[in-house]
Amino acid sequence: MAPTKQKHAPTRQAITLKGSTALVTEFFKFAANTILFQRGVYPADDFHMVKKYGQTVLVTQDLALENYLDKILKQVNQWLLTGSITQLVLAIISKDSRTPLERWVFDINLVEPPAVTESSQAAPAKPESEIQAEIRNILKQIVSTVTFLPVIDEPTVFNILAYTKESVDVPANEWVDTDPLAIEASKSQQVKLRSFSTDVHRIEAMVAYRYEG
């Protein structure tokens, strides 16, 4: 009996830790820019439009801010690669009273791959187009938050907080232990935002804001 020939399609590679880290770091860059623009922390003139994720997003052209964000994200990238970071927070603070007004929280979880048994197959890799669509939805949701977040009519500044595992290496003179910039529970409202995931990371987003009701 002649042997039968079978065609084998190449299996699509699951996204790597390095690839996932690059996607997550890039998301944080565009999310931070979108928040700073939408919440008026920097003047609208400081931003320009770029095409990303199949839509228009705004990115700062303030060189000092760009360098500051790049420096932070470079370190976040390293912590993602080592699985050392669990949460990233962008806090918006009153410039005069130093009162925290908003906390944009991004929880970072490692995705547990499903167990593969003899009778089951490994889950197919998640298409990057699907990941980008999820990111696009989060950014759109950040933009839409202006419909319910209180109007900020005072000068503000922002701070980025990274929550890491205790054993992590922290660059000296670059990161310091700081106040969590929490909003008092009695004056805090929270809204859960969308999430996105790669084959390696899952990012859950929410915003807490000060509400003097």
User: Contact 187/210 with Cβ under 8 angstroms?
Assistant: yes
Domain with 170 in it: 17-114+126-210
Structural domain includes residue 5:
no
Domain CATH number, residue 21: 3.30.900.10
Q: Count of domains in the chain?
A: 1
* Rounded Cα–Cα distance for residues 140 and 129 (Å): 16
SS3 21: helix
Structural domain includes residue 176:
yes
Structural domain includes residue 3:
no
**What's the predicted TM-score (pTM) here?**
0.89
**Contacts of 143 by beta carbon, 8 Å cutoff, 6+ apart:** 34, 38
SS3 63: helix
What's the pLDDT tens digit per position in 63-109?
999 999 999 999 999 999 999 999 999 999 999 999 999 999 999 99
Structural domain includes residue 119:
no
Structural domain includes residue 167:
yes
Structural domain includes residue 199:
yes
Inform me whether the pLDDT recorded for 2 exceeds 60.
no
Instruction: Label residue 119 by pLDDT band (50, 70, 90).
Output: low
- Conformational region of residue 186, where left means phi above 0, alpha means psi within -120 to 50, and beta covers everything else: alpha
What's the pLDDT tens digit per position in 168-193?
777 766 777 788 999 999 999 999 99
Place of tokens 């109007």: 151
Residue type for 36, please? L
What's the pLDDT tens digit per position in 131-140?
999 999 999 9
Structural domain includes residue 53:
yes
Structural domain includes residue 7:
no
For every residue of 69-116, which 3-state class applies, written as one string? HHHHHHHHHHHHHCCCEEEEEEEEEECCCCCEEEEEEEEEEECCCCCC
